[in-house]
Amino acid sequence: MTQKKTKRPVKSPTRAPAYSLYGESPEFGQSIFSNAESILVRSNNLTSNIDLHVHLDLYQFVYISEGRSTLISPSGTYNFGTNSLVMIPPNIEHGFYSYIETKTFGHVITISDAYFDRLAQRGVLASDLVKYITIIEQLDRGRNPEVFTAIERVIYEHNSEHYPFILAREAAVLSFIVEFLRIVAERNVLQFGVKTSDIGDLSGKSKIEILSQLIDRYYKTEKNVQFYADRMNMSISNLNKISVKATGKTLHSNIKARNLEQARSYLANTNLSVKEISFSLGYDDAAYFTRFFTTNTGLSPIAFRRLSVRATREGEHVLPLDPA
């Protein structure tokens, strides 16, 4: 589903006010905590419009489970709704407009930057993923159950006073950070504030890198191109264009090539039977796998193994056979 970005610039004050977690002045000292509370509690003392402001040392995650809201930034505004997750890094101007006629439910998870950087290996893992306001839409419990579980665990542990709640909170926050970074890396998310020139230069490269990572992770269990299109929130047609432009092959051909590559490796370097290899690669029918391998390489699995063994003994190199 195409994401729509409203190009309405918002007039920014010379210097947006800076707030800590509950609106107190940052002079109280650097935040070293995490917090989780419902949107209703968080906005209890706020009007429906939250003007532009910044958090000097806080990462803030807004999860909308039901309803809708509008993000305000100097770059414009963006409408998002049910099953959306918005991340606002420190020192980024932002605000929100809530619709009085719409009941909006969800949670706000706040993590201090020192805490975030420590849990995310001092920013190494997150360095390229959390520079801008990031919006993830259309989260689906069926496709991304880990994200929902992580959010629910953070909320539960921050409402718990039972020992060892401090350790449990840290574990829950770490799990949430990992799942957030994972889904950002896997999906074509909107990063609000990225320069248009940067998008033009980098988007094609980053998408094919994401696709390559997805294929490496799921090729054994997911061979349907629709799965990859869904994970990247793109149509099969557009994803195929990116794949062909970058690799010269369609998405289906690249998935097939990855399976054949691993099959050849198993045949040449292990003693696994053809049946065991077929099951390992996600094929329930060994006969089907044999036909698949033979059709695309010109050799049966047994013939390929014999060839590779002979080549190894004679010190030769068995050239990889590309799929037709």
Nearest-angstrom CA–CA distance, 207 and 179: 19
Beta-carbon contacts of 268 under 8 Å, excluding residues fewer than 6 positions away, are 304, 305, 308, 309, 312, 318
Contact 72, 93 (CB under 8 A): no
Contact 105, 39 (CB under 8 A): yes
Nearest-angstrom CA–CA distance, 321 and 324: 9
Q: Flag residues of the chain having pLDDT under 70.
A: 1-32, 41-49, 99-102, 119-131, 161-164, 187-206, 312-324
190 token code pair: 């909107």
What is the per-residue pLDDT for 10?
A: 42
The count of other CB atoms within 10 Å of the CB of residue 61 is 20
The count of other CB atoms within 10 Å of the CB of residue 244 is 14
Nearest-angstrom CA–CA distance, 86 and 182: 15
Nearest-angstrom CA–CA distance, 107 and 147: 14
| Alpha-carbon distances of 42 from 20, 166, 272, rounded to whole Å | 13, 22, 57
Q: Position of tokens 């195929």?
A: 240
Nearest-angstrom CA–CA distance, 75 and 5: 10
Burial level of 178, CB count in 10 A (0-12/13-18/19+)?
Answer: middle
